[in-house]
Structure 1
């Protein structure tokens, strides 16, 4: 008898559902925590700094001003090392006892490790937490949009390597449209259409003509890079005033919510694109698991033949899903030309689409987990700039590598056993 899916397994049968707390995943977590703890201890032993570190919890303009937290740099860092050791030991104990690894262990470890690292790195300096975390949210915008597009596509059984191209063409279309119309909102719509256009081409080759989806995605990325570089040189540069000078989306504080201490400035004093992002994340998470549409999407990604048997149009569902996914990813591209800078530049996405793909894997094809993974990568990117600004002793070369090191380590060390949808990347030939 075939085991029936359960709600907790995301539509998978219990005997095939991913259990992230056992097996290889349960072994990888203590190893990863141990390596990180040893790394932090090694940093402190090699270069210990005297002085105090100030953690600023509020900006001067906040309605309620929280007091700064001043801690001794060296002792605080070593206390965090001890806490990390204790959490690692607990993870090892649970692994040996074949117990599940609860989510609070890596979360608590991440907070303790980062507190210790920042205490050391910002000795005799000041860490503005609002700026650090708020900037991380802003920098994660294209990663979250791209990751959501990747989750939707792969849940429907289509590998979307073309996220980078969707982001880049979205940025290009947003810049031209916003410049021509004078409205950044029109630019957002154009970005979504551009992302959907790339997805349509992906679907044409991958779904209709059964071409290898990875190859199509890579080719589309190269095609979009070449096309936008040509258009930038031949069209945008000679007509920069009319076609490449869009109005930027400015920060728009939400009344009352923006005045909440610490949380308000981070989450509710952002650009409108961030608020659109909040709504998209909630809608995708709800629709994927709580609606008939979401059930059909997951069905064609897990077992398309069974879905076809009960009357679901597999390829039509895949087309509609990847078009939606492409539109969402295209919105992320608008961040580069309407928020980060005012205008389009060549290859300005800088590989964000590939980091978004890593967030999809790190988040185990779940919209909420993928969002959290993208926020982690955004935090690593912003941390690079913050530490460089305060004159941290961390080498600048390491800081430039930090976002990508976090990406590699997260995917290789913390994901554990990860299973994509069963029919992911497999074209469906209707009998």
Structure 2
């Protein structure tokens, strides 16, 4: 099938290349000429494991191209809208400027039977509004909403072999037509018995934000338990292990630490709260404000531990910060707890030297005042304290004896509870975890 993907950022670029892997012909459209030029050369504009390989493979087939010209969508039967929905400045609400602009740009190029498919995470009610705009255009096109559930670091796998598919479609014949086209697009996944939920627009929109709200709540729950553990002497990692054996709860997302970040969870739970308040149901998700507050408090806790460990002041102390991206296997530093910790320590007068396998350039663009190093040994040498804030494998598996031979003071603040405390203490380190004795 001929497909267009509007928006070639993180979601769109992955989706475009993956659709070619599934056998389709795709044109990716974006207003950013620099990004399009990179993609046309087979070079992803961001780090995502597996994307360079499928992008190169897709380009080699001749069935993938990129353009800044929206008229290039002509001939495509299905148009995926995969643009960003950032948080509005000064507000919790989602900014739908890019979604609305994408749909308006598509309208002159739509024909009878075409399908516009929303992939972006939007406030509930957006799809119904956009469906009305498309219907009023007289093009004969219809709308469906097909939320994405990508995990950064695993986005290629999650697109080609999703754990579920959700179609939000209109009632009657338009919905049947949309379902048939989407089934053709996702034929490989459906043949592999991927669960499929066919529902209405509102439910499809809520699925994504509800999933993110639940995951954020689970992370903040264990971080709230860490706060209790810190004043009682309990060990939150053992607590998480114990309750995680209950299959109604599970161990995943019960890793206490500096909390969540990135381009999805923080802004999505805030946008969900804002939309619920617009609908007169703010009380229903009022708990999400505390989820957000707990999350931000854990960053401050890591900073406070560092200050305390250094005798009450970090002024002129060298602090080696391990990690900048919001999670491993990503270069995304949007709302990153790791970068936030580094910036705040710098603001307190510390000589921060930060390193990350992928996140340095994006961090430098946002916070050029920090000192960055691609050399782990240089980062650690003569450090007064080491702060782990992103659990990259190369950091988690550090040898405490080797690190101890480089630093000035054997003080480690484990912001992800990723180190074995007993091993580090046996190597002479003063170890601080979050929610651990």
Report the TM-score range of the alignment, normalised by the length of the smaller protein.
under 0.3
TM-score (norm 1): 0.26
Higher strand share: 2
Higher helix share: 1
Query: Quick one: higher RCO (CA 8 Å, sep 6+), 1 or 2?
Result: 1
TM-score (norm 2): 0.26
